[in-house]
Amino acid sequence: MELVAAVIVAFLLLAGALFALVAAIGIVRLPDLYSRMHAASKAGTVGSGLLLLAVGVHSQELSILARALAGFLFFVLTAPIAAHLLARAAHKAGHRLTPPSVRDELMKDQTGRRSYKTKG
Amino acid sequence: MIAASIVSAATMVALGILGLAFLLTVYRVVVGPTLPDRVLALDMLVAVAIGFIAVIAIKTGFTLYIDIAISLGLVGFLATVAFARFILTHGTSDGKERLASPTITAEGGLKPAAGKKPRKDGRRKKGGQ
């Protein structure tokens, strides 16, 4: 039983660390702010969340496991909000998409609004 | 005995991988061409630091570190929100972004031209009124 718990904890530790490494490689390799954001806010959140879950399983107490799950839930809730705020602020500040990306719906939306405003 | 050695070996490997991820993210903070890239990399640094805290909590046995990790996540979220507000208010005054935007409007082709015609019509109407 103890061996099973240790194997689960080791698996969670290695999986979380590898997710964080994948997120860091994505931040370095990807060409654009908006594509780097995919790597950072998804893989990075899952990486730190799995490491917290490993602490909860390793302690084998219900209160600490509940605390680790609460931390994981908090990160999962706040990471998309932070990424969305940062992407929207960067887009409004004038940072555009790089050429491999196909279309920019927000910019089309802005030009449409401007034309409507001048019409009315 | 075997279980403890498995967990300690996994913590050492996880610390090594997290250190590599930390260094890669620091490279993006130093190199990153624009301010939002650096803010994103700082957010990722907070996530890696939370991972470090969790691994140290397993290694030392102090489970109180989980509370520190949660509060660090809260601080990192608030810092990212504050940086986003800062970019929103002060980000347009750079010269690089003004150079970058006309190339993409030139690539957009028809749509900006279609957007400009109603503006001229609107101005004429306002002038007529």
Which residues does chain B have within 8 Å of residue A17's beta carbon, measured at their own beta carbons? 13-14, 17-18, 21, 51, 55
Which value does ipTM take for this structure?
Answer: 0.84
The better pLDDT of the pair B100, B7 is held by B7
* Cβ contact A9–B10 (<8 Å): yes
- Tell which residue, B60, B111, B128, B105, has the closest CA to residue A59: B60
H helices of chain B, in order, are 2-31, 35-60, 65-90, 95-108, 110-128
Quickly list DSSP for A47-97. Answer: HHHHHHHHHHHHHT-HHHHHHHHHHHHHHHHHHHHHHHHHHHHHHHTTPPP
Q: Is the dihedral of CA B38, B40, B46, B52 positive or negative?
A: negative
* Cβ contact B39–A86 (<8 Å): yes
Q: Are A21 and A38 in contact (CB under 8 A)?
A: no
Domain count, chain B: 2
| Residues B16 and B64 occupy one common structural domain | yes
User: Per residue in B7-42, pLDDT tens?
Assistant: 999 999 999 999 999 999 999 999 978 899 999 999
For B117, the domain range is 96-129
| Residues B26 and B61 occupy one common structural domain | yes
* Cβ contact B97–A81 (<8 Å): no
Mutate to test the interface with A, among B27, B39, B63 (most CBs of A within 10 A): B63
The pLDDT, as a whole number, for residue A64 is 92
Q: Give the mean pLDDT of B45-56.
A: 94
| Residues B89 and B107 occupy one common structural domain | no
Which residues does chain B have within 8 Å of residue A75's beta carbon, measured at their own beta carbons? 47, 50, 73
| Residues B78 and B53 occupy one common structural domain | yes
| Residues B83 and B105 occupy one common structural domain | no
User: Per residue in A51-92, pLDDT tens?
Assistant: 999 999 998 889 999 999 999 999 999 999 999 999 999 888
